[in-house]
Amino acid sequence: MKKRTLIVIATAGVVALGGGTAVALADDDTREQVTRTVTGSEPARTDLTVEQAIAKAQEAVKGTVGSVELEDDGSGWDLEVLAEDGSWHDAEIDAKGKVVREASDDDSDDSDDSVQEKALDKAEADALKAAKVPAAQAASAAVGSVAGTVTSVEFEDAGDKPAWKVEVKDGGGVVHEVFVDAADGKVVSSRIAPADDDDDNDDD
């Protein structure tokens, strides 16, 4: 999930920038590097578990969480919530467990979507609402199969078998993809995450 963030940093006393204020536009992949370079400090890392992040998001938006992902730098969580009225909301939770942003998707941005794409989106939303197993339960089932820390949970409506894809980082730093049946909460399969997926949650 790529986002561009306006970063305003007071740089008085930073000789390289000549003092004053530096304004940079950075995405998730460069925000941590900018923070380290200018402030000389690491971003605060969250102690919030995935279950706690989900609960916080649902306090802000009444609905069903469709995805949750740990920030690359470990400083918080990004979530997508399907509200009870059918609208999608994005929520960001910081290291202290505070919801720092909650925004509804703008339907006007979907004007160029094809009828087929809209139908698929609705089908996925309907499948998510019908799922008997919520994201938090899927996360719990995944770590019961692979010991480690959950870094993301995502609902996938693949044909007649909707499932949750849960990424778990084990004690050795290896990321596993665990698939949990959205109907009964049983682990269907697991595998080592492909290299590109592993990089997405690499916080080194």
- Quote the tokens at residue 105: 């998707």
Q: Are residues 59 and 80 in the same domain?
A: yes
Q: Are residues 33 and 61 in the same domain?
A: no
Q: Are residues 21 and 93 in the same domain?
A: no
Domain count, the chain: 2
The pLDDT score that the predictor gives to residue 44 is 82
Q: Are residues 93 and 30 in the same domain?
A: no
The pLDDT score that the predictor gives to residue 106 is 54
Domain with 26 in it:
4-39
Ranges in the chain, pLDDT < 50: 1-40, 107-108, 203-204
Residues 6 or more apart from 87 whose CB is under 8 A from it? 104, 105, 107
181 neighbors 133 (Cβ within 8 angstroms): yes
| Residue 44 counted as domain residue | no
| Residue 45 counted as domain residue | no
CA distances from 101 to 5, 97, 173, 177 (A): 12, 12, 30, 28
- Quote the tokens at residue 200: 């997405």
The pLDDT score that the predictor gives to residue 201 is 52
pTM: 0.72
Q: Are residues 59 and 86 in the same domain?
A: yes
